[in-house]
Amino acid sequence: MTEQNMALAQLEPGEKAIIEFKDVNKWYGDFHVLKNIDFSIKKGERIVVCGPSGSGKSTMTRCINRLEEHQKGSIIVDGIEMNDNLKNIEAIRKDVGMVFQHFNLFPHLTILENLTLAPIWVRKMPKKEAEEMAMHYLERVKIANQANKFPGQLSGGQQQRVAIARGLCMKPRIMLFDEPTSALDPEMIKEVLDVMIQLADEGMTMVCVTHEMGFAKTVADRVVFMDAGEIVEANEPHEFFDNPQHDRTQLFLSQILNH
Amino acid sequence: MAIKFNPSPSLPPPVNSVGAVAWVRHNLLSSPLNIFLTLFSFYVLYLLIPPVVEWGLINATFEGESKAACTAGGACWAFIGVYFEQFMYGLYPADETWRIDLALILLVVLIAMFAIKAVNKLFLSIGIIAVYPVIAYFLFAGGVFGLEIVETSLWGGLFLTTLLGVVGIVASFPLGVLLALGRQSSMPIAKSVCIVFIETIRAVPLITILFMASVMIPLFLPDGMNFNKLMRVLIGITLFSAAYMAEVIRGGLQAIPKGQYEAADAMGLTYWQSMVLVILPQALKLVIPGIVNTFIGLFKDTTLVYIVGMFDLLGRIQAATHDSSWLGTTIEGYAFAGFIYWAACFGMSRYSMRIERKLETGHKRN
């Protein structure tokens, strides 16, 4: 519990959290997958979530935009409580972009159509304006020349950069990354991480589930370590890597850093 | 300094692996068993084709007023010629059949307009789906603009077959989509209604439904209230094939990876937006073969309306073979019916393959 309080305590008095987990619990049937998650994220903060598989890190992240439903406790995103109210869910999802491990681009639409779909239908933006904005973001991720191809014709790294651009097209206030580089060939990881680093430099609030410890060290404001559905430890990167408090964290770090 | 890596140039494939000779070698003569099968197939074709050609073309009679004119020993196509109008239009008055032709030409013209770039596709689609059926209905049934009223009991032949098939296909498809979505839905009431509907209809033979539609329903309707038998049969056929359609489409919905639903949800699309824009286009594309299968089945099942006293193409042919001056022409009649059904179904099948190729976006790589 003390570590979680420490995570909360990082918030200055009077400062508002953009994402707030209060005593969040979740079960899959009888399996207790998230246990008493208490955690706040400030605006502009870059959070890296790590931990062994099955530790609940993806589930926790996906609770933020309700791809997973929590059963106890409360999650407040950008001042809106996440509950069964469809209006709240839609309002939160408009402001939260998400990038998935397997890209999840829509294979029947071109790259450009993938990017403009949500702005046109959710933000009600005129098609021409949406296309101009989409091209702008495609240029930022350096694949504007592929705009009229289909996702199946692109490499994994290119697809993931498109997915990031697609998330940005909704002008989100928060970006969630669920293991964005885990399905990529080693040669393509860097091009995706570069885009993410650029995004972090611009002050985007980011929650990133990843095993890229190099990325965590250079970009994260805080690293969160989870195991068995709990937040074991959350700390600034240099403290987290150089001076882990918990023996479970030490074991995890020794296993992933010395392989 | 590192050695510079130059990829080797790509070479054309070896000559003996391309071209007609290679194709024959690879497909017809690749092994002793294949050589045997090839020769055997040629032998079977040799046995079959000459007698069929002789019967159907060389010794056939194309002109004549009765079976007695067919003396050459081959097929008696004169029978088809004499009855052709009836096979096409049923008992529709001969002076009015231009209305059916006009409706058909109108439909062909409307569909052909899709090829013209300047035409707004949305308006055209609305025209075909919403306006055309009304025009066609009044053309067929009459009663307006001085058109003579033609009772639906006179409608028949290939006209009736096409009408049943097209209306059944066009109406059952959207209904099937809704039923499939309903069955997948998380709303318990919608879900159970859809399941009960699909499972009930699928468990009953089409003949039963047609009997219900033509015989039973009028018994339950109050006196004086009587709606058209053709309409009831159409509704029966539509509901029947919608249940099958729903299950085919559900197969497609289940084949879409969960990530597609999640990506659509995560970007804030509503349920209907994500279904119409993301899920259905992919799911329907996957099950085009199954959908066309159902369409073809439906088209051929329309022959069952014969049972409830409606004379579609097959019904009219069967009735004509009982004509005393044409006795013994059953084979010609059925051959003709078989050819028409084959042409229609083969056309649908080829068209569906074309659509599949057109929609291919190379995402099989994923």
Interface contact flag, A152 B365, Cβ < 8 Å: yes
Q: Which two tokens stand for residue B220?
A: 């339950």
| Rg of chain A over all Cα atoms, to the nearest angstrom | 18
Domain boundary among B134, B149, B164: B149
pLDDT at B225: 63
Pair A66, A93: CB distance under 8 Å: yes
3-class secondary-structure state, position B31: coil
Strand order in the sheet with A80-81: A31-42, A17-28, A72-77, A80-81
Instruction: Please report residues of B whose CB lies closer than 8 A to that of A90.
Output: 268, 270
AA identity, residue A218: T
| Rg of chain B over all Cα atoms, to the nearest angstrom | 27
Q: Which two tokens stand for residue A156?
A: 């994994």
Q: Which residue has the tokens 């009982």?
A: B322
Domain boundary among B149, B166, B191: B149
| Same-domain pairing of B223 and B202 | yes
B96-126 tens-digit pLDDT: 888 888 888 888 888 888 888 887 878 888 8
pLDDT at A8 over 50: no
What whole-number distance in Å separates Cα of residue B214 and Cα of residue B228?
9
Best mutation site among B258, B267, B287, B288 for testing chain A: the one with the most A CBs within 10 Å? B267
3-class secondary-structure state, position A193: helix
Mean pLDDT of all residues in B56-65? 80
Residue B105 inside a domain? The answer is yes
**How far is B329 from chain A, CA to nearest CA, in Å?**
52
What whole-number distance in Å separates Cα of residue B297 and Cα of residue A4?
63
Residue B320 inside a domain? The answer is yes
Mean pLDDT of all residues in B47-68? 83
Distance from the Cα of residue A53 to its chain's centroid: 16
Q: Cα torsion at B329, B332, B333, B338 (round to 10°)?
A: 160
| Same-domain pairing of B237 and B278 | yes
> What number of other Cβ atoms are within 10 A of residue B33's Cβ?
8
| Same-domain pairing of B320 and B257 | yes
Best mutation site among A109, A121, A207 for testing chain B: the one with the most B CBs within 10 Å? A121
Q: Which two tokens stand for residue B235?
A: 């509704």
CATH code for the domain in which residue B245 is found: 1.10.3720.10
Give chain B's length.
366
Domain of residue B322, residue span: 74-92+150-358
Interface contact flag, B268 A94, Cβ < 8 Å: yes
Residue B10 inside a domain? The answer is no
Nearest to A150 among B257, B259, B362 (CB): B362
| Same-domain pairing of B136 and B193 | no
pLDDT at B366: 40
- Count of the separate structural domains present in chain B: 2
Size of interface A-B (CB pairs under 8 A): 75
Q: Which two tokens stand for residue B231?
A: 């309409």
Residue B66 inside a domain? The answer is no
B169-208 tens-digit pLDDT: 989 999 999 999 999 988 899 999 999 999 999 999 999 9
| Same-domain pairing of B99 and B184 | no
Residue B265 inside a domain? The answer is yes
Domain boundary among B102, B123, B149: B149
pLDDT at B58 over 70: yes
Mean pLDDT of all residues in B51-68? 81
Q: Which two tokens stand for residue A81?
A: 């409580």
Which candidate, B229, B233, B245, places its Cα nearest to that of B172? Answer: B245
pLDDT at B365 over 50: no
| Same-domain pairing of B141 and B159 | no
**How far is B266 from chain A, CA to nearest CA, in Å?**
6
Instruction: Please report residues of A whose CB lies closer than 8 A to that of B285.
Output: 108
What whole-number distance in Å separates Cα of residue B329 and Cα of residue B335?
10
What whole-number distance in Å separates Cα of residue B316 and Cα of residue B61?
21
Mean pLDDT of all residues in B252-270? 93
pTM, two decimals, is: 0.83
Phi, psi torsion values for A34, nearest 5 degrees: -125, 130
What whole-number distance in Å separates Cα of residue B311 and Cα of residue B214?
14
pLDDT at B363: 53
Q: Strand pairing partners for A32?
A: A27
Give chain A's length.
259
Where is A50: in which H helix or E strand? Answer: strand A46-50
pLDDT at A6 over 60: no
Interface contact flag, B265 A118, Cβ < 8 Å: no
| Same-domain pairing of B84 and B98 | no
What whole-number distance in Å separates Cα of residue B106 and Cα of residue B110?
6
Which candidate, A79, A57, A56, A97, places its Cα nearest to that of A205? Answer: A97
3-class secondary-structure state, position B76: strand
| Same-domain pairing of B286 and B182 | yes
| Same-domain pairing of B110 and B193 | no
| Same-domain pairing of B223 and B82 | yes
Residue B68 inside a domain? The answer is no
pLDDT at A217 over 80: yes
| Same-domain pairing of B144 and B274 | no
Q: Cα torsion at B272, B274, B277, B283 (round to 10°)?
A: -100
pLDDT at B226: 64
Q: Which two tokens stand for residue B257?
A: 């990876």
pLDDT at A220: 92
Sign of the torsion formed by the C-alpha atoms of B356, B360, B365 and B366: negative
Q: Which two tokens stand for residue B340?
A: 């028409």
In A, what residues contact B, Cβ < 8 A?
65-67, 90, 93-94, 96-98, 100, 102, 104-108, 117-118, 121-122, 150-153, 166-167, 170
Question: Mean pLDDT for chain B?
Answer: 86
Instruction: Please report residues of B whose CB lies closer than 8 A to that of A97.
Output: 266-267
Residue B254 inside a domain? The answer is yes
| Same-domain pairing of B137 and B250 | no
AA identity, residue B279: I
pLDDT at A240 over 60: yes
Residue B17 inside a domain? The answer is no
Interface contact flag, A152 B265, Cβ < 8 Å: no
Strands (E), chain A: 17-28, 31-42, 46-50, 72-77, 80-81, 96-99, 174-178, 205-209, 222-227, 230-235
Phi, psi torsion values for B362, nearest 5 degrees: 70, 20
Pair A43, A18: CB distance under 8 Å: yes
Mean pLDDT of all residues in A72-84? 90
Pair B236, B304: CB distance under 8 Å: no
